[in-house]
Amino acid sequence: MFVVNKKQKFAGLIWMFALLSVAFASAAPAAQPAPRSNGLAQTPPVGWSSWNNFGDDINEQIVIETIDAMIANGMRDAGYVFVNLDDGWQRYKGARRDHPLEFDPKKFPRGISYLADYAHQRGMKLGIYSGPGQTTCAGYTGSEGHEAEDARMFANWGVDHLKYDSCCSHREAPKEELQKIFRTMSNALMTQKHGIVLHACHCGWGDIWEWAAGLGVNHWRIGQDISDDFNYPGNREQYYFDVLDQLDRGVGLEKYAGPGHWNDYDMLIVGLDGQSKQLVGTGASNIEYRTHFSLWAMVSSPMLVGADVRKLDQYSLETLTNKEIVALNQDPAGNIAHKVRDDGDLEVFARELADGSHAVLLLNRGAATATMTFSPRADLQAPMDRYSIRDLWKHRDLGTYDIPFTTEVQSHEARVFRIRQLATSANGRSVSDAAEQELAR
Ligand code: GAL
């Protein structure tokens, strides 16, 4: 008689399990990680980050004054709730194997949780910075090998956002290696009770847009660091991207972004005026900064102001606090603007908004003022017989149109409009005409 003893039974089970695993593995779709969501950043993070102006020269006083200034100047109420410490909050420079990760008590005498509380009490959020290496990009201790411990520490401090920066290294590394880096931190953050938005700062290497959302990353840089330039010929120092470089880099990547996971075109340079202690570049004109801001809103990039908000001039403040433009960035549908027309220097970008209206941006990259025309039928492939137009920089309704809309756009300017299809009522008057007349009375 064939007797099966316990040991054989056990071995048999193991074999069965192994065979089943192989069968399942070969049936499963290859490589692509299953989508994961931490439920955060349903609209792109909007706020301030210390790096573009201050570099690593930051401290508690700057952060508190920044929060106070953002409340006093209307930025918080316009949607700027994140206040993010970038590199330089750490106590030690050098490898993590030689030093712990702690806040610098000279720069932050009351610690990070004091600042998180200070922000939270005022309806704002606090962000922090680290990286997957032994050191961060500015040479401070990184998180390598201590991801779980650091995630716990950040969560205990009440931190709401983590910029996790690989310093644009590992350019040629296999995707699996890159994924492991960001997966490890994402998993560590997801086990915390306190939700922390994860920014993978990785210069777009390894086609990060294809896989980062699947790891639970909320936004990822698509290109190299921004410089304080609108359109510098080539790349400054053969590395930096100006505003138009970032914009062009994003063309084709629209489909990877949406609620909870965004293409990040890097921090805003509005108001730096070539004065940054940290960024290269000679600054841009008021119009160019406004164009940059409008574009970042249209593509729903995170919008983190890099300037010293305690000293913003009136024009920059008006640019940043244009609630109608911020609303495009924060539109709950999360549709990213596409370039719908490219006539050399004259380009049209458009996106559909949650309420069915469309945002349209006319960009003139050329050196002279140009006349530009926008046609809903041709540019949106939307058969709008009658539509209303609102100018989002002039804050004015321009009226009702049934023909293409023509206007002047200055050199390097972006005009931004919200257009709405009008239903026609039985008596031939458009419903919206009637509503506008109501308003005028
Ligand atoms: C760079 C990053 C910058 C800033 C800096 C800090 O890699 O792109 O935005 O975070 O590191 O050292």
Is the distance from CB of 141 to CB of 132 less than 8 angstroms?
A: no
Candidates 235, 110, 115, 212; CA nearest to 164 is 212
pLDDT band at 35 (very low <50, low <70, confident <90, very high): low
For residue 438 the two structure tokens come to 């109501």
Asked whether the domain spanning 338-421 has the same topology as the one spanning 46-330, the reply is no
Is the distance from CB of 325 to CB of 67 less than 8 angstroms?
A: no
pLDDT value at 9 more than 80: no
Query: pLDDT for 321-355, tens place per residue?
Result: 999 999 999 999 999 999 999 999 999 999 999 99
**20: buried, middle or exposed (CB in 10 Å: 19+, 13-18, 0-12)?**
exposed
Q: Please report, for the chain, the start and end positions of each structural domain, with discontinuous segments joined by +.
A: 46-330, 338-421
pLDDT value at 6 more than 80: no
Q: What is the pLDDT of residue 36?
A: 74
pLDDT band at 424 (very low <50, low <70, confident <90, very high): low
For residue 262 the two structure tokens come to 């965004």
Residue 230's Cβ-side half-sphere holds a number of Cα atoms within 13 Å equal to: 25
- What percentage of the chain has pLDDT greater than the value 90? 82
Q: What is the pLDDT of residue 24?
A: 40
More confident of the two residues 134 and 28: 134
Q: Which residues line ligand 1 (CB under 6 A)?
A: 51, 86-87, 136-138, 165, 167-168, 201, 225
Q: Any residues with CB less than 8 A from the CB of 384 and at least 6 apart, and which? A: 376, 377, 419, 421, 422
Q: Which of 165, 228, 264, 273 is catalytic?
A: 165
Q: What is the pLDDT of residue 251?
A: 97
- Distance, in Å, from the CA atom of 365 to the CA atom of 270, rounded to the nearest integer, reads 18
CATH for the 338-421 domain, from 3.30.200.20, 2.60.40.1180, 2.60.120.10, 3.40.50.150: 2.60.40.1180
Mean pLDDT, residues 101-108 taken together? 98
Backbone angles phi, psi at 113, to 5 degrees: -65, -30
Question: How far does residue 266's CA lie from ligand 1's centre (Å)?
Answer: 10
Longest CA span, the chain = 101
Candidates 121, 119, 146; CA nearest to 132 is 146
pLDDT value at 34 more than 80: no
pLDDT value at 5 more than 80: no
For residue 327 the two structure tokens come to 């609303």
Question: How far does residue 201's CA lie from ligand 1's centre (Å)?
Answer: 8
Query: pLDDT for 151-181, tens place per residue?
Result: 999 999 999 999 999 987 777 788 999 999 9
- Distance, in Å, from the CA atom of 352 to the CA atom of 335, rounded to the nearest integer, reads 6
Question: Counting atoms of ligand 1 from 1, which one is nearest the CA of 267?
Answer: 9
Is the distance from CB of 374 to CB of 380 less than 8 angstroms?
A: no
More confident of the two residues 146 and 23: 146
Query: pLDDT for 192-248, tens place per residue?
Result: 999 999 999 988 889 999 999 999 999 999 999 999 999 999 999 999 999 999 999
Given ligand 1 and candidates 48, 50, 51, which is best to mutate, with the most ligand atoms within 8 Å of its CB?
A: 51
Question: How far does residue 240's CA lie from ligand 1's centre (Å)?
Answer: 12
Q: What is the pLDDT of residue 43?
A: 98
Question: Counting atoms of ligand 1 from 1, which one is nearest the CA of 224?
Answer: 8
Q: What single DSSP character describes residue 256?
A: G
Candidates 55, 240, 231; CA nearest to 139 is 55
Question: Counting atoms of ligand 1 from 1, which one is nearest the CA of 221?
Answer: 8
Is the distance from CB of 228 to CB of 281 less than 8 angstroms?
A: yes
Is the distance from CB of 160 to CB of 116 less than 8 angstroms?
A: yes
- What percentage of the chain has pLDDT greater than the value 70? 88
| Nearest Cα residue to atom 11 of ligand 1 | 137
Is the distance from CB of 378 to CB of 275 less than 8 angstroms?
A: no
225 is catalytic: yes
For residue 316 the two structure tokens come to 């920059």
Question: How far does residue 56's CA lie from ligand 1's centre (Å)?
Answer: 10
| Nearest Cα residue to atom 7 of ligand 1 | 167
Residue 430's Cβ-side half-sphere holds a number of Cα atoms within 13 Å equal to: 16
Question: Counting atoms of ligand 1 from 1, which one is nearest the CA of 52?
Answer: 9
Question: Counting atoms of ligand 1 from 1, which one is nearest the CA of 168?
Answer: 7
165 is catalytic: yes
Is the distance from CB of 419 to CB of 388 less than 8 angstroms?
A: yes
For residue 424 the two structure tokens come to 């026609």
Q: What single DSSP character describes residue 375?
A: -
Q: Which of 86, 87, 160, 225 is catalytic?
A: 225
Candidates 346, 369, 356, 340; CA nearest to 418 is 356
Residue range 46-330 forms a domain whose CATH class is alpha beta
Question: How far does residue 109's CA lie from ligand 1's centre (Å)?
Answer: 24
Question: How far does residue 167's CA lie from ligand 1's centre (Å)?
Answer: 6
For residue 421 the two structure tokens come to 């299809």
- Distance, in Å, from the CA atom of 24 to the CA atom of 27, rounded to the nearest integer, reads 5
Q: What's the chain's average pLDDT?
A: 90
